[in-house]
Amino acid sequence: MDIRTLFVAVAVSNLAFALGIFLYVKGQHSVHHSIEIWGKSRFLAGMGVVLLAMRGDMLPVPFVIVTANSFVFAAVTLSVVAFKSCLERPLPKVNSASAILAGFILLWLVLLASGIPENIRLVLFTFYFSFTLLVISRDLAIGWRKNSILQKFLATITPLFAILTFVRGLVALFHPAEGVFSSNSSQVAAMLVGFVESITTSFGFLLLAKEKTDRELEAQAGTDHLTGLPNRRSFYAMAEKVISLEKRMGNPVSMLLLDLDNFKKINDRHGHDTGDRILVEFAAILRMTTRQCDFLVRLGGEEFGVLMPDTPPFSALEAAERIRLAVEDCGVEIAGERICFTVSIGVYGEESASGRDMDHYLRSADAALYRAKALGRNRVETEMPEERIEPDCLVLAEAPD
């Protein structure tokens, strides 16, 4: 196969990816930043290979050596930045495309002025490229068990490209090629590996970015935008699984239903912005006063819920009272005025999860919440059968404010 044809194929594939990405992200604000970085890396890679193909015939060799190698090195570095950004790994201190390119231009001016032979420059590139591929592979492999099949595939195949590239560098070190466009077997093999690597990582990266975007959209669809808690739809799907699991294990399950007292009056008097501040503050209190294994939800308006797996009724009552007291002691500062608020809580729990479904837990907790509101608000009430409640907990639940 003609080596120039491979150069053209590599250049065209990278530039085509870059063009497609730039057209895709244009005017879209929801596109992940890593995709833009990847587009820049493919553009620089394509331009670098184009300049190499024009070496000697159309452009001066020294100019091509500096610009082409700077473009390609910057492209390789930006590919690492793109993967790190997509995978949410710590980014290098310098991650600006222009800064990276300027740094490599300076480096290659120094290397060219030093008179370093062409095969050594090729060795320098292959070793650096291998190193960056290994960095990408390491980032892809973090959290292996939870990773998608695509991410595991990329983490597995990337080191293979790194090894093949490293071997190419060793060949260039001990058996220098006749020139950039020499069509010996090692040169052709290296370009083929580069072409396959470019196509594989480009498609792989875009699919990985799509996976990330899909996960983010799914999380947003199941999350209350104001408090950051799960919304009713996502909570129901998760809660049914939790109750089913606890039922099979014979563990107790409890449900708290919480409603902020006189919330409409707060909105009417202080405005909806203040109401939103209170909802956010209440969600923060819930996070601080519940366990990591508890499942929180904003059911709608000022109504919240807490599903407590492996929690007997008396422990749920204690938790509810702890939340009530924390809310009673809290307040929100608005324009120098401290606005206090309270919460009423209904509790339902079973010592051993039976055949009840989520709707039953919510209905029973709601009945208890209704009684708490009717008895004066800012209190905890329960809808559990009396024989399942310890005496101390009865006193706790029925104690006056």
More confident residue, 188 or 291: 291
Write phi, then psi, for 56 (nearest 5 degrees): 85, -55
Q: Looking at the predicted structure, is the pLDDT value of residue 390 above 80?
A: no
Q: Looking at the predicted structure, is the pLDDT value of residue 327 above 50?
A: yes
For the chain, give the percent of residues with pLDDT over 90. 53
Which of 40-44, 49-53, 84-88, 258-262 is predicted least confidently? 49-53
Sketch the domain layout of the chain as residue ranges: 3-221, 232-398
Query: What was the pLDDT predicted at 143?
Result: 92
Q: Do β-strands 303-309 and 253-260 pair in parallel, antiparallel, or remain unpaired?
A: antiparallel
Give yes or no for a contact between 296 and 287, defined as CB atoms under 8 angstroms apart: yes
105-114 contacts, C-beta under 8 A, 24 or more apart: 105/66, 105/67, 105/70, 107/70, 107/73, 108/65, 108/66, 108/69, 108/70, 108/73, 109/66, 112/62, 112/65, 112/66
For the chain, give the percent of residues with pLDDT over 70. 90
> 3-221: what CATH class?
mainly alpha
Q: Looking at the predicted structure, is the pLDDT value of residue 6 above 50?
A: yes
Q: Looking at the predicted structure, is the pLDDT value of residue 393 above 50?
A: no
Query: What was the pLDDT predicted at 218?
Result: 78
pLDDT in tens, 42-69: 999 999 999 887 876 778 888 988 999 9
Query: What was the pLDDT predicted at 172?
Result: 78
- How far is the C-alpha of 197 from the C-alpha of 205, rounded, in Å? 12
Q: Looking at the predicted structure, is the pLDDT value of residue 226 above 80?
A: yes
More confident residue, 255 or 356: 255
Structure tokens at 397: 């639940």
The confidence band for 174, taking pLDDT boundaries of 50, 70 and 90, is confident
- How far is the C-alpha of 43 from the C-alpha of 106, rounded, in Å? 20
The confidence band for 2, taking pLDDT boundaries of 50, 70 and 90, is low
Q: Looking at the predicted structure, is the pLDDT value of residue 386 above 50?
A: no
Collect all residues with Cβ–Cβ distance below 8 Å to 346 and sequence separation of at least 6. Answer: 256, 257, 258, 365, 366, 367, 368, 369, 370, 371, 372, 380, 381, 382, 383
Third-level CATH fold of 232-398: Alpha-Beta Plaits (3.30.70)
Mean pLDDT of the chain: 86
Q: Looking at the predicted structure, is the pLDDT value of residue 368 above 90?
A: yes
